[in-house]
Structure 1
Amino acid sequence: MSIEILGMIATTPGSESKALTGPVIDPGYVRDFARAHEAAGFDRVLIGYSASSPDGFAVAAAALHATERLKVLIAHRPGFVAPTVVARKLATLDHLTGGGRVAIHHITGGSEADQHRDGDWSEKADRYRRTGEFIEVLRRSLTSETPFDHDGEFYRVEGAYSAVKPATDAGIPIFFGGLSGGAVEVGAAHADVYMLFGEPLAAVAGHVDTISAAAAQHGRAIDFSLSTRPIIAATEEEAWAKARRIYDEAKALQERRLTGDTLSFAAGRRGEKAAVSADLLQQHAALGDVHDERLWLGITKLTGPSGNSTAPVGTPEQVAEALLKYYDLGVSKFLIRGFDPLGDVIEWGEELVPLLRSGARRRDEARELLPA
């Protein structure tokens, strides 16, 4: 098992604790943000998705052309673009950017309001079945050497064929997230990588076991990714002080947003039924602000069910060791995103990223020495 470190880029600065500033799309910021990830030793960056955000494929192209090695993970919501079209878009981008640098992440649940903005009023259970069928047709489009027909519940194609295939034998990795029963069924059957939020260790261990068992029923093995928001400083005391400052800034920004004075990432969809994965974070937050010694859920509790928000807090060595405990559970990919997005990436490249890689390498070497 080898570690992979992912980041997340956006088109303008902002986070739960920092107000959005500047234009919606700042090409210079996208370029600098992507290059900062590459310089810091990241493997890949996620480009997020919402019904009001800039197009992820275009942002991915800008990030890829601004860098030499950095890979991208394009978030995509099935249901609005045909899987055959998405397959050709992915394969084309893969060829135009050096090959082997493109992956796709399927998001299905989440905000009902966001679904409605793009005209999708389907039920969540239907959407997960649709995602499963979407991935099936997408993968077949990327691999079939001959035209094929498909007549399913949501998609029907005749003579479908893509002349452009992925640029490398590795293909286009397929990421997926969600923890409802329907999500696990679809992800286990179709995904290459299953993305999890940074829950406490025991909860993540349970998800890994459940999803791995479901994948095994399909004769498949699956990789896992974990998303967190590290907060580091030279000493543990300074790191917790930094976390408190982030909380105060996020709370002030949330209050300003509620009075209409500013826009904020901490929008909080408290009146809406949360996705299972986001709701689980709230359940952990209700039990305590800190789990497993340094997994802080203060921002999780403050902002409500808004996704990736849990933060391991400590020195670079302490945070690396906390994250590597998930590596011991079978998580091989870590998506880390900062509250000071660009500044944190630069800081993590100095110590945290190298510590994660060296710690994972030591664990891999120790496993190789174990008797078969």
Structure 2
Amino acid sequence: MSIHITGMIWARPTSDLDAPSGPAFQPDFIERITLAHEVGGFDRVLAGYWTNAADGFLVLAQAAAAAKRIHFLLAHRPGFVSPTLAARKLATLDHLTRGRLALHVITGGEDIDQRKDGDHADHAARYRRTDEFLTVLRQTWTSDRPFDHQGEFYDIRQAWSDIRPFQPGGIPVFFGGASDSAVQVAAKHADVYAFFGEPLAETRAAVERVRAGVGGREIAFSWSNRPIIAATEKQAWEKAHHYRERAIAKLKAAGDAGLIPAGQAINSQRLVSLAQRADVHDERLWTALAGVLGGRGNSTALVGTPEQVARAMLRYRQIGISHYILRGWDPLPDVTQYGRELLPLLHELADAQDRGRVSVATAAE
């Protein structure tokens, strides 16, 4: 099973450790961080979706102008753009990138955040809308004649698109969520199911649950994490605790008490619950920052030397994970370090694992 590594890019320097700096859209920074991932051996970069940030379509267009090999993953929330228009926008971007695009569908787990863009649909309605959105999206890409669609959320007449995805098989769809509704939608539409960075036992159970829910259809799995690596394990843990101090200092400087309460999203609640149970799971999965950040986003970290972290990642591979979304805490320096120290070792150990020359079946190191 091959390994696919996705990083993350932004339109300006930002992290959970430092306040954003400079204009909200910085083309030079987009190019620098994208090229750092490309040089570092990442397969893709993800442009996320935030209700206060630059548009991901245009961030990736800027990134594609700079980087000619790396692939792209675009986060998109259904509900704000008609699925027929989204289909044309995505197909256009797929041509612009020469078939290097994948779509990460974010249904939205926080009512408060959705309302910032004028969406007042509840959780259940958002998943029904996502299902219908993706149905129309794919029909727009594949229909050989104008089509009508009348559903709960969209009433479309004689839809047709001259532009179709550059990729013959269409644009791959990543999907995530912890609810039963998420699994039901993924069963119909997802090529890759994305999990946050939970421990092995919880991740294995989630993989089995999704596999059962998709009814035998082939689907890949992604696992997100924010590794913290150093030359020695002691130095890695010191770095981790320093990151936690910086994150708390940033929150306090903004007027917060130093901790963000758990969000409404089930994934956020699960990560906070893990942090409340223990700071460390499976020897080196560190959840303390998930507790500080309210479980929002990708906020757990594998901590150790590059080899220790690589071996920990390969244990997830043994339970079905083939895609990893790795995001740095200090984005540019961390991406450079991952590319120099972690990714080559990860691929080397994976090749040895495939040949039966290395085992990562146990947690002992």
In which range does the TM-score fall when normalised by the shorter chain?
over 0.9
Q: What is the 5 A alignment of 1:32-181?
A: 32-97=32-97, 99-181=98-180
CA contact (8 A) 2:78 2:105 kept: yes
Local SS of the residue matching 1:258: coil
CA distance in 1, matches of 2:15, 2:281: 23
Q: 1:296 aligns with which of 286, 294, 314?
A: 286
Bigger mean CA offset, 334-343 vs 183-192: 183-192
CA contact (8 A) 1:2 1:332 kept: yes
CA contact (8 A) 2:194 2:222 kept: yes
Distance change >3 Å, CA 344–CA 273, structure 1 → 2: closer
Q: 1:320 aligns with which of 310, 323, 329?
A: 310
Structure 2 equivalent of residue 9 of structure 1: 9
CA distance in 2, matches of 1:247, 1:286: 15
Local SS of the residue matching 1:94: helix
CA contact (8 A) 1:18 1:339 kept: no
CA distance in 2, matches of 1:209, 1:330: 9
Distance change >3 Å, CA 273–CA 302, structure 1 → 2: closer
CA distance in 2, matches of 1:17, 1:91: 36
Distance change >3 Å, CA 235–CA 135, structure 1 → 2: same
1:188 offset after TM fit, Å? 2.1
Bigger mean CA offset, 338-347 vs 135-144: 135-144
1:141 offset after TM fit, Å? 1.2
Local SS of the residue matching 2:221: strand
Segments of structure 1 that go 5 or more residues without pairing to the other structure are: 261-265, 368-372
CA distance in 1, matches of 2:87, 2:292: 39
CA contact (8 A) 1:274 1:305 kept: no
Deviations 1:58-89 (A, max 9, x none): 00100111101111111111001011111111
CA distance in 2, matches of 1:362, 1:185: 36
1:110 offset after TM fit, Å? 2.4
Structure 2 equivalent of residue 335 of structure 1: 325
Structure 1 equivalent of residue 239 of structure 2: 242
How many residue pairs align between the two structures? 357
CA distance in 2, matches of 1:55, 1:215: 32
- Is the aligned partner of 1:188 residue 2:200? no
CA contact (8 A) 2:259 2:291 kept: no
1:111 offset after TM fit, Å? 2.2
CA contact (8 A) 1:189 1:220 kept: no
Distance change >3 Å, CA 144–CA 361, structure 1 → 2: farther
Deviations 1:102-135 (A, max 9, x none): 1111111222222111111111100001101111
1:361 offset after TM fit, Å? 2.7
CA contact (8 A) 2:290 2:300 kept: yes
Local SS of the residue matching 2:174: strand
Identity of aligned residues (%): 51
Structure 1 equivalent of residue 225 of structure 2: 228
Please report the TM-score for the alignment, with normalisation by the length of structure 1.
Answer: 0.92
Distance change >3 Å, CA 186–CA 259, structure 1 → 2: closer
Q: Which amino acid is the alignment partner of residue 212 of structure 2?
A: A
Distance change >3 Å, CA 90–CA 10, structure 1 → 2: same
CA distance in 2, matches of 1:156, 1:360: 48
1:198 offset after TM fit, Å? 0.4
Q: Which amino acid is the alignment partner of residue 186 of structure 2?
A: G
CA contact (8 A) 2:8 2:48 kept: yes
CA contact (8 A) 1:151 1:157 kept: yes
Q: Which amino acid is the alignment partner of residue 251 of structure 2?
A: Q
Local SS of the residue matching 1:188: helix
Local SS of the residue matching 1:351: helix
Local SS of the residue matching 2:115: helix
Query: Relative CO higher for 1 or 2, CA cutoff 8 Å, sep ≥ 6?
Result: 1
Q: Which amino acid is the alignment partner of residue 300 of structure 2?
A: T
Q: Which amino acid is the alignment partner of residue 54 of structure 2?
A: P
Local SS of the residue matching 1:150: strand
- Is the aligned partner of 1:307 residue 2:323? no
- Is the aligned partner of 1:352 residue 2:325? no
1:259 offset after TM fit, Å? 6.1
1:32 offset after TM fit, Å? 0.3
CA contact (8 A) 1:4 1:334 kept: yes
Which 4+ runs in 1 deviate beyond 4 A?
A: none
Structure 1 equivalent of residue 360 of structure 2: none
Local SS of the residue matching 2:214: helix
1:292 offset after TM fit, Å? 0.3
CA distance in 1, matches of 2:291, 2:18: 17
CA distance in 1, matches of 2:124, 2:61: 32
CA distance in 2, matches of 1:163, 1:171: 15
Deviations 1:320-368 (A, max 9, x none): 111111111111100000111011111111121112222233334449x
Deviations 1:287-311 (A, max 9, x none): 1000000000111111213121000
CA distance in 2, matches of 1:195, 1:66: 27
CA contact (8 A) 2:9 2:46 kept: yes
Distance change >3 Å, CA 33–CA 273, structure 1 → 2: closer
